[in-house]
Structure 1
């Protein structure tokens, strides 16, 4: 039965020909017993050794207790939003879940049923698949067109699930160790210092993390109320990125917001051209549930930056243009392209800026950096924002470009070798373009 179902499934690719599979065959195959699972301690030990080494293994009683807790609790808490995971059998037999994932689309519903069958077949063959998948990850699987991409994504979820289980075990061990130390009540020797109660706390008033967060948010609100200089992140490239790149973009947006908030002179940050139902925004809201609230100190809007500030004051930062940014303009409104282009190297930000008739600029990286072999000159959103924050405060490129990762630059030995080759020229006071070389900023290794 399994081999016949597999042959039918192979003939049904691509997924739009889902009607070739009969619902009776799908229902019978979806109820097939799963041969490979992580319920046994032996299988769990094998998987742990395979991905995390032999040092991460634990005793059999601890493994059984952790596995029982892991199976009973399929809901993970992230911020204040609960992410509930479902098995393919639960998805296949529940029409409300099918409608929630597919949005009522009949074609997607047929495709999702095929994905449930594909999941069971992969698990029967011994592939690495998770025990349950969240609604968002099911939607991500629906958007993938190749079986190779889906197998890679399922393996990623499988490793993530194992890592989460191991973290729970380590957390439980740390808790038990802490409780054991508290029960011992070991009397320390008198070393001449005053010992306070309540865990040897000091006499100074404790500053909680929530107090620091409120102070940082106050700076952002003050920048918004005083009409400080605005900086925009253009989130209008959602259709040009893969699901993995969208997830990477969500992480970079979180880091960018965090570095702007803790700075002494933050920008008035705007996220424009935002599609609130996009996967990047949904993932960002899992970490920041208050993102779309009006009281949150960040401007998230579906409008374009052209509808917020005058067109003449806009400068689009793109690494593909020819204009070099020499000095920081305190009267300009800078735009950062919110795109992760690992797979797509097309100059999308340059094309958009030209299409809208905007001024463009790029960082003078080649004039201040000694790039290593194979070092990419593309920076993340948080790195660009940190450079802009320092340039606004100091106006010094040597100081602002300290945020460029060291792994992209040459070492001191490679810089000295290149300088010695430069001195062997006929006229060492000129570079290849016939100009006096600028002082380049070299990051010294620790």
Structure 2
């Protein structure tokens, strides 16, 4: 059974519905019937006009499902021994061999199919031999009290992007995640959950101790937008610390105050960053991922002009 547009042509004379609305509804009903969906098989002109005049597509679908249910109950009363009218399509299982002819792939195909997870495992295995000789960067997770739940969720996204960017680059940095409480801190739960979900060993160092207990103070430089000095070049013997902080309220001097508490030097990038739709005076601190990307490029010998290129489509970074 299918609906015919000409059977409802007299509805256009009333002027309540247009020709395009009627054609669209008839097409929708016939398509749902072909797919075996739960729609009525016999609609009177009055009901069809009422369906078309409903304000939203969701209400039309619920209206049609309601009358399809009534129609089905009437049919079952008249034919109690009949088979159900609306049979759900049977989903047949399939294997990878079923799609080989579709894409022209056969047993002697030279194109291997690599899963995305396997590709990440290969990239990490290639990254591991480089880490002992890479630039050391510490991430300070001691700012949980200053962040809202929304900012903490954004921090989890930044951490995933940071790990992904460090995995894909040809010059990765050796990350040290420190200064978190393994029992109460949000950052600690985030790190431990990410480590537990992995099949391979975590390639970076984890420690609840502050960075000053892991490395000598004279070899530590805390990166902050309000740093005392300007970072021109990287030193292989220096450990650069980045605060794991997402600051939507723009609290100034938080990371610089943390550097003074630890008794270490603080430096800033010779850059200014702002969103493309904002004025140049409205500077914003760089995200955790952007800082790691810049340090990775600088450690490979790139100049600052190349290190800040292509960080983000919505961010303008200038020297």
Q: Return closer, same or farther for 1:343/1:55 CA change in 2, 3 Å cut-off.
A: farther
Structure 2 distance, partners of 1:406, 1:280, is: 28
Verify the 8 A CA contact 2:230 2:270 in the aligned structure 1.
Answer: yes
Indicate whether 1:307 and 2:213 are aligned. Answer: yes
**Aligned position for 1:345:** 251
Shift of 1:232: 0.4
**Aligned position for 2:288:** 381
Structure 2 distance, partners of 1:62, 1:397, is: 63
**Aligned position for 2:305:** 398
Structure 2 distance, partners of 1:271, 1:244, is: 21
Shift of 1:335: 0.4
Structure 2 distance, partners of 1:290, 1:259, is: 19
Where do residues 94-133 of structure 1 align in structure 2 (5 Å cutoff)?
Answer: none
Residue 120 of structure 2: which of 202, 208, 213 is its match?
Answer: 213
Q: SS state of the match for residue 233, structure 1?
A: strand
Residue 241 of structure 1: which of 147, 167, 174 is its match?
Answer: 147
Structure 2 distance, partners of 1:230, 1:62, is: 64
Q: SS state of the match for residue 137, structure 2?
A: strand
Residue 197 of structure 1: which of 101, 115, 124 is its match?
Answer: 101
Shift of 1:296: 1.5
Where do residues 355-434 of structure 1 align in structure 2 (5 Å cutoff)?
Answer: 355-366=261-272, 372-373=278-279, 375-409=282-316
CA RMSD of aligned residues (A): 4.0
TM-score, normalised with respect to structure 1: 0.45
Verify the 8 A CA contact 1:328 1:395 in the aligned structure 2.
Answer: no
Structure 1 distance, partners of 2:64, 2:154, is: 35
Larger radius of gyration: 2
**Aligned position for 2:157:** 251
Structure 1 distance, partners of 2:299, 2:237, is: 11
Structure 1 distance, partners of 2:116, 2:195, is: 16
Number of matched pairs: 235
**Aligned position for 2:168:** 262
**Aligned position for 2:53:** none
Q: Return closer, same or farther for 1:236/1:345 CA change in 2, 3 Å cut-off.
A: same
Q: Return closer, same or farther for 1:223/1:308 CA change in 2, 3 Å cut-off.
A: farther
**Aligned position for 2:130:** 223
Kindly report structure 1 stretches of 4+ aligned residues shifted beyond 4 Å.
54-58, 61-64, 283-288, 369-372
Structure 2 distance, partners of 1:62, 1:402, is: 55
In the alignment, structure 2 segments of 5+ residues that lack a partner are 1-55, 67-88
Structure 1 distance, partners of 2:65, 2:295, is: 49
Structure 1 distance, partners of 2:254, 2:118, is: 41
Structure 2 distance, partners of 1:295, 1:385, is: 21
Indicate whether 1:274 and 2:169 are aligned. Answer: no
Structure 2 distance, partners of 1:280, 1:63, is: 48
Indicate whether 1:329 and 2:235 are aligned. Answer: yes
**Aligned position for 1:23:** none
Q: SS state of the match for residue 300, structure 2?
A: helix
Shift of 1:345: 0.4
Q: SS state of the match for residue 314, structure 2?
A: helix
Structure 1 distance, partners of 2:311, 2:268, is: 14
Verify the 8 A CA contact 1:316 1:336 in the aligned structure 2.
Answer: yes
> Which structure would you say has the larger RCO, counting Cα contacts within 8 Å and 6 or more residues apart?
2
Shift of 1:301: 1.3
Structure 1 distance, partners of 2:60, 2:205, is: 48
CA deviations over 1:242-276 (Å, ceiling 9, x no partner): 22212211211121111111111211111101222
